[in-house]
Structures are given as C-alpha cells and as structure tokens.
Structure 1
Amino acid sequence: MTDHAYEIGQQVSVPRGLDVVQGTVDGVYGDERNRQVILHVETEGGDSETITVPASVLDAARRDEAEHQPGAWLSAYQYEQALEVALADIFRSIDSKFSQTSPGPRDSGFDIAFFTPERMVVFEAKHRSRETLDAGGKYLDQLAACVHEIQARVTRSISGILVTNAKIPHGLAKRAAIARDRGESLWIARWAPDEGLDELADIVRKAVSFQR
C-alpha cells in the first residue's frame, strides 16, 4: 500500500540493480494498495528509457530520507528480490509444476504469489532496519484482507505468508496462530538471506498443505 500520491513531473530516486538513479514520474496507475509508477530515467550511455516501479519501492525511499538512514530502502528492494529467488528454490523442491507471478491490476496487498496445482500462496515482504517488526499488526491485517479478497473470487485455496528479517513479536505470531485455528491459512516467517532456507521452507510447506 502506498502512502504518497506521485505526480507527473516529480523527481524521484529509483533503484537500478545495485545503483540508484534519478527518474521523472511520467504516469501512475492502480489503486493505493498496488500503485505502479511509470518513470522516465536516463541510462549510462546518455539515452533514456521508460520503466514501471511499484510505488511501495519509492515510498520506502522517501521514508528512508526522512529518517536519515541512507541505503535502507535499497536494502528493502534487494531483500524482496532475494526472497523471490529463495522462494522459487523452495517451491521447486515442493512441486515441479509450480509457477509464480507478481500482482496484477486487480490484486493488492502482496509482493509475489506462487502457485501449485491446488493452492496459491501470496507473500508480503517487510524488510526493517529496526530489530523488531512493528507490533501493531497492520501488516498482518493487510495480508489477511488480501487473502480474503482473492479467496472470494477464485476456487483455489489461498495461503498468505508475511516474511520479515526482523524479530516477530509474540503477539503477532499468536494472532496468526489464532487465524489458523479459525481455518485461515495465515503465517509469519522470519528470514534473512544469510540464514539459510530451512525455517522459511518449513512454513511454506505448512502453508501449502494447510487444511481448514
């Protein structure tokens, strides 16, 4: 979900691989939970190109500047990319017929989805520079709302997993467990790229095999 209205002509910082370049907003589309920003950027050779970036990436850059923590927003972007690669490895070991996708225009509240023949698993990545994830539960609530919305219009079973590099407050873990007791496949996983895949893979497998 974006927290800023981007305007045509606005100058923004844009991640390009491991670098950061300046871009100019050329258009905006999508609702506030899945807003995409069309940007005009200059390439190294002096040419220009048009790219589309999730507004959430630009939001993170703005928050980082406000908090005077240079580089944190780029770390969040890299975290999401690393998570996508890790999840592909996990799903490959679960079911060779898996597929994956990014959110479409009608979807909101998640960063990436993976499919097996029987289930769709949506993931929301939250990279934090703070040691502990926010205890208020808003990210879990947003993911739950996303799962309910998708489940209402598809026949495939849906699971939602919130993945973070921060410590997970006990209260949030308990809320997810209570949701599962109600028959909702809602999970929280702590994962960092340098910590291996075992714990994340265990939760993914539980989400894939979850029965109401």
Structure 2
Amino acid sequence: MTNRDYQVGDAILVPWGLDLVQGTVVGAYGEGLGLRVLVEVDLGDGNTEVLPFPARALEATQQPGGHSPPGAWVQASRYEENLARELSRILHTQIQEWAGTVEVNAQLGQNREIDLLVHLPDRLLLVEAKHYTDSHRSLNTSTLNQMREYLRNQYNPPAVALIVTNAKVYPQAATHAEKYRESGVPLWVATWHEGDTTTELEMALAEALRFSIPG
C-alpha cells in the first residue's frame, strides 16, 4: 500500500536505478500491491511518454536529491527491454531445452522487485540492469552489496544473479564480485551495449549457469 495519494497534475520524481527524473501524474489503475501510477515523462526532445510505476517504488523518491537529464528514465527502460531480449536469445542458445521467458520488473516477495527474472530448470536468474546517461560513470560496489542482500533470501529453486550495465566495469567492482563468488555468493557483473556481438554478458551468463550452488 502507498502512504500517500497521487493526484492528477502532481509533479513527482520518478525512480530508475540511480536516476531520478521529473514527471507529472496523469492517472492510476489497480489497487494494493497492483497499484500503478501513470506518470508523463519528458523524453528530452519535445516529446513525452506516459509510463506506469508501482506506487511503492515512488515513495522513497519524493525528497529532492538531484534530477537526471530529461529522458534518462526512458533510455534506461529501453535498455532493460533490449537486455531482456538479448538474455532470452542467449539462454535459448545455451539451454536448448529451456522454453521459458524473461520476466521484466518481476516481484520477489512482497516488498522487492527485480529488473529481470528468469526461471531456469535448476535455478532462478536475477538480473539488475544499470543504465547510465553519463558515459564516465562506473558501476558502484554498493549495487553489488544490494544484490548480495537479495541473494541472502531463500529461493526455491536457488538463485544466481547478474548485474548488467552500459558503463565500464572497473577492476574494483569485478574483484568485488569475484570475492563474493569465492565465498559462495553467485554474483557476476558485465558490461553490455545494444548491438554487441561477442560480449561479457554471454561469458558471465555461461558461468552463472555452470555455478555449483551449495545446498
């Protein structure tokens, strides 16, 4: 449930990963955990687009803290959708018997969502997509720590996780993930851009599929 009501015409901040974008409430639908707030977002080129947001995802973003450039949320959303298609393509290649789909903005329990979720024959694949409008940004190790907390939950089947970003993954973040794996936490990071052919994503995904999960 949301702690506030969203009225048509309200100016609010819209979350996407580490980005906050200004938007205007234009409507809502659903109720309870299914409530979606419709927000009109400036695409930055004179056009706007109306996008649905879970009300609970808006609660923590309504304090001023800096805005992302117009269109940042939309770019991140499109990156996530393209990544979902690429993951599906790779998985169908690497697991011939798999006939599933990649879920976008999937629910993990009552209070958590994951950008992409895949049900595989023997494990869950949790994927967090991090798109940055600033080409000089790099993946923050705090994102890895947050994903580790997701993996501490008990899932059936057990879960492995990927963090995929359009930014460069510097050695600090890669080493951080490697140390997690050495301690039994199945977490990988990879850089991926639309149009990539042979990618870090394919290699990281292959390792995640082979990883021997304790228990």
Shift of the alpha carbon at 1:186? 0.4
- The aligned counterpart of 1:164 is 165
1:70 partner amino acid: P
Shift of the alpha carbon at 1:121? 0.6
* Mapped pair 1:133 → 2:138: yes
Say if 1:183 and 1:211, in contact at 8 Å, map to a contact too: no
Counterparts of residues 84-123 of structure 1 (less than 5 Å): 84-95=84-95, 96-99=97-100, 100-102=102-104, 103-104=106-107, 106=109, 108-123=112-127
Q: Distance in 1 between matches of 2:113 and 2:148?
A: 9
Q: Deviations over 1:28-85 (max 9, x none)?
A: 755xxxx9633388xxxxxxxx97434669999x999824x22222111110111011
Q: Deviations over 1:97-149 (max 9, x none)?
A: 242334126262521111221111100000012223243x2211111111222
Q: Provide closer, same or farther for how the CA distance between residues 160 and 29 of structure 1 changes in structure 2, counting only shifts above 3 A.
A: farther
Say if 2:37 and 2:52, in contact at 8 Å, map to a contact too: yes
Say if 1:109 and 1:143, in contact at 8 Å, map to a contact too: no
Q: Provide closer, same or farther for how the CA distance between residues 11 and 179 of structure 1 changes in structure 2, counting only shifts above 3 A.
A: same
1:123 partner amino acid: V
Q: Provide closer, same or farther for how the CA distance between residues 89 and 143 of structure 1 changes in structure 2, counting only shifts above 3 A.
A: same
- The aligned counterpart of 1:211 is 212
- The aligned counterpart of 2:182 is 181
Q: Provide closer, same or farther for how the CA distance between residues 186 and 77 of structure 1 changes in structure 2, counting only shifts above 3 A.
A: same
Say if 2:129 and 2:164, in contact at 8 Å, map to a contact too: yes
Q: Provide closer, same or farther for how the CA distance between residues 105 and 117 of structure 1 changes in structure 2, counting only shifts above 3 A.
A: closer
- The aligned counterpart of 1:192 is 193
Q: Distance in 1 between matches of 2:64 and 2:206?
A: 34
Structure 2 stretches lacking a partner, 5+ long: 15-22, 41-49
Q: Provide closer, same or farther for how the CA distance between residues 173 and 207 of structure 1 changes in structure 2, counting only shifts above 3 A.
A: same
Q: Provide closer, same or farther for how the CA distance between residues 29 and 197 of structure 1 changes in structure 2, counting only shifts above 3 A.
A: farther
- The aligned counterpart of 2:70 is 70
Count of equivalent residues: 185
SS in structure 2 at match of 1:193 = coil
Q: Distance in 1 between matches of 2:152 and 2:156?
A: 12
Q: Provide closer, same or farther for how the CA distance between residues 205 and 59 of structure 1 changes in structure 2, counting only shifts above 3 A.
A: farther
Percent identity of equivalent pairs: 22
Q: Distance in 2 between matches of 1:63 and 1:196?
A: 40
Say if 2:39 and 2:51, in contact at 8 Å, map to a contact too: yes
Structure 1 stretches lacking a partner, 5+ long: 15-20, 42-49
Task: Give the TM-score normalised by structure 2.
Answer: 0.70
Say if 1:179 and 1:186, in contact at 8 Å, map to a contact too: yes
Shift of the alpha carbon at 1:203? 0.8
Q: Distance in 2 between matches of 1:145 and 1:38?
A: 27
